[in-house]
Chain A
Amino acid sequence: DIVMTQSPESLAVSLGERATINCKSSQSVLKNSNNKNSLAWYQQKPGQPPKLLIYWASTRASGVPDRFSGGGSGTDFTLTITSLQAEDVAVYYCQQYSNTLTFGGGTKVEIK
């Protein structure tokens, strides 16, 4: 199985500042058939199910604010939240869907 490693485990950012989360896969998640990376990001707030934010590494899901952006390719990916808002406090997970679906360990984002 592909192992997904996220960093940092937790992150404290001031309101309005930028938050960056990293995700590294143990092997490439590039899908040859469409030349896209099979990498998604989810947001999970306490007591709620996860919510899809980003797929194909950089495509925002429906209704997701544009302060959330995804980047990277191959084995190294990032989720960036520009101008952190109070409602962005959550745990964020990366997931690869190239083969057997696996998640990173999660990154907890808090307000400094």
Chain B
Amino acid sequence: EVQLLESGGGLVQPGGSLRLSCATSGFTFSSYAMSWVRQAPGKGLEWVSGIGASGVSTYYAGAVKGRFTISKDKSNNTLYLQMTSLRAEDTAIYYCAKDLAEIGGPHPWDSWGQGTLVTVSS
């Protein structure tokens, strides 16, 4: 069974930094692209960042480019999102999500974590 478990969320001041983690199990982590998707309170879904299966290729939404860094650690099957220069508008639940298929892409996501809440406020 695929499992994704996010952690690392919390309250941070504007301009601050936070690192989110997504521990995975139940699938071959090195074979799948992964993404971070966020949802502001009461709002819709927004793709934030994606990383290829090998961890070499990375992609970012315009709103976070230059501030967020996605990475994969294959030694412990964990996905990360390093967030810097945080703004109030980054406040959201952050979900990690696994690609539907191993090859090709981009793909939709067939497995999601429960999310971790990031609140940016003074």
Interface-side segment among B8-16, B72-80, B81-89, B108-116? B108-116
**Interface core residue of B37, B109, B114 (most chain A CB under 10 Å):** B109
Contact of B45 among A38, A50, A97 (CB under 8 A): A50
Q: Is A81 an interface residue (CB 8 A)?
A: no
* Secondary structure type dominating chain A contacts: loop
| Closest beta carbon of chain B to A91's beta carbon, Å | 8
Smallest CB gap from A91: residue in B = B44
Q: Is A12 an interface residue (CB 8 A)?
A: no
* Contacting pair A103 B61 (CB below 8 A): no
* Contacting pair A49 B46 (CB below 8 A): no
Interface size of A by Cβ–Cβ distance < 8 Å? 25
In whole angstroms, what is the CA distance A38 to B101 when docked? 13
Set of chain A residues within 8 Å of B66, measured between Cβ atoms: none
Interface size of B by Cβ–Cβ distance < 8 Å? 21
Contact of A102 among B47, B50, B115 (CB under 8 A): B47
Interface string of B87-122 (1 = CB under 8 A from A): 000000001000010000011111011110000000
| Closest beta carbon of chain B to A65's beta carbon, Å | 16
Interface string of A56-91 (1 = CB under 8 A from B): 000001100000000000000000000000000000
B: residues with CB less than 8 A from A are 35, 37, 44-47, 50, 59, 61-62, 95, 100, 106-110, 112-115
Subset of 28 A-B contacts with CB under 8 Å: A38-B106, A40-B108, A42-B45, A44-B45, A49-B95, A49-B112, A49-B113, A49-B114, A50-B37, A50-B45, A50-B95, A50-B112, A51-B112, A52-B100, A52-B109, A52-B110, A55-B100, A62-B110, A93-B45, A95-B45, A97-B108, A100-B47, A100-B59, A101-B47, A102-B47, A103-B44, A103-B45, A104-B44
